[in-house]
Structure 1
Amino acid sequence: VCPSGALFFGPREDIEKYRREKPVNEFQFGRQRVRTKVNIMTAPENDVLPIDIADFLPRETPDMHPRPGARPGAPDAADAAIWNEWNSGPAELATAPE
């Protein structure tokens, strides 16, 4: 389906044969473990993929007050959002600039 192999649709056993990574569908958020229908390839030694939400807090900048728990240099999850600068509110979602 995907020439790069990034997406795979087929039996789990097939992907396990051809990839050195291991598919996991359990994620650890602090003390809570979540099982999904989605598998992500990870290192062979991982049975669960730990996710630290603090890694996705916005970066601190000199002009803002640091939030407790914010880590310098952490990626900003909002950067991945579809909410762009051209829209200032929900009404503008229907009209994208050309």
Structure 2
Amino acid sequence: MTMPGGWQLVLVLGVLVLLFGSNKLPEVARSLGRSARVLKAEARSLREDEDAAAQVPAAQLPAAQLPAAQEPIGPEPAPQRSATAPATAAEPARETTAG
């Protein structure tokens, strides 16, 4: 991609003046500058946090920050009972009637 030439920059500035007016342009530029500074500071903070976390051994991490064990997703399967196993007191035998 090529850099814009002089006449292209003049055209862009002219469109910006028409859209925002000459009074609003400094305010818009200041706002963009603040946003860029905040974004840069947050990116730096994230990078420092990642570097600090990489230097801490896993034994010193609190349990909440340790990787969670993979557990199956979904309901637990019902325990299988053989057809010949007797019913327990908690599970009364079901009587089936042929109709």
Higher RCO (CA 8 Å, separation ≥ 6 residues) = 1
TM exceeding 0.5: no
Give TM-score scaled by structure 2 length: 0.24
Q: Which structure dedicates a bigger proportion of its chain to strand?
A: 1
Give TM-score scaled by structure 1 length: 0.24
Q: Which structure dedicates a bigger proportion of its chain to helix?
A: 2
